[in-house]
């Protein structure tokens, strides 16, 4: 599964991408935390990690804040995740059984296939796709979740 830190990084990148068309493209850490519903201390840690990955830049002081350094139309969700906390892949059977030394057992093979599919889907979607409301998401309506299925672009 994706880590909480990686999900927070995606939320932060999306909010900063949305801010490029308003707010001069700069948001304070407090603004980012409020808009993403990420705890403030955690948001600062994630923003620093995104800065080390050269996805955002930050400036201290009056008029300072954080700005997106990548093109949302080019940056994929997977690139953000990989910069912060790559999805775990299973390369050896964690059960350490002798019969599983040369290949993954069916359980761990299927779990790794699921992670590979998640990687493929994250690679297929850009930050801008999320902002634009890419098809195939889950709509939240009151207390029901409604799956939206739309054919993928080719």
How is the chain split into domains, by residue range?
1-86+127-154, 88-123
Question: Which tens digits make up the pLDDT trace of 140-153?
Answer: 555 555 555 455 55
Distances in whole angstroms, Cα of residue 89 to Cα of each of 49, 56, 80, 124, 154 = 22, 27, 17, 19, 28
Does position 35 have pLDDT exceeding 50, yes or no? yes
- Per-residue pLDDT, averaged over 17-33, amounts to 85
Residue whose structure tokens are 């935390």: 33
Pick one of 3.10.20.30, 1.10.10.10, 3.10.20.70, 3.20.20.330 as the CATH number of 1-86+127-154: 1.10.10.10
């Amino acid at each position: 599964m994706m880590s909480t830190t990686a999900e927070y990084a995606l939320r932060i990148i999306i909010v900063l991408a949305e801010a490029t068309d308003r707010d001069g493209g700069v948001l304070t850490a407090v603004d980012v935390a409020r808009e993403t519903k990420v705890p403030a201390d955690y948001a600062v840690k994630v923003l620093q990690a995104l800065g080390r990955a050269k996805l955002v830049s930050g400036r201290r002081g009056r008029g300072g804040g954080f700005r997106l350094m990548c093109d949302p139309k080019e940056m994929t969700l997977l690139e953000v995740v990989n910069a912060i906390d790559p999805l775990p892949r299973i390369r050896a059977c964690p059960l350490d059984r002798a019969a599983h030394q040369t290949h993954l057992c069916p359980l761990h093979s299927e779990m790794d296939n699921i992670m590979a599919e998640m990687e493929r889907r994250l690679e297929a979607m850009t930050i801008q796709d999320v902002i634009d409301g890419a098809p195939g998401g889950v709509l939240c309506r009151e207390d029901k979740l409604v799956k939206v299925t739309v054919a993928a672009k080719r």
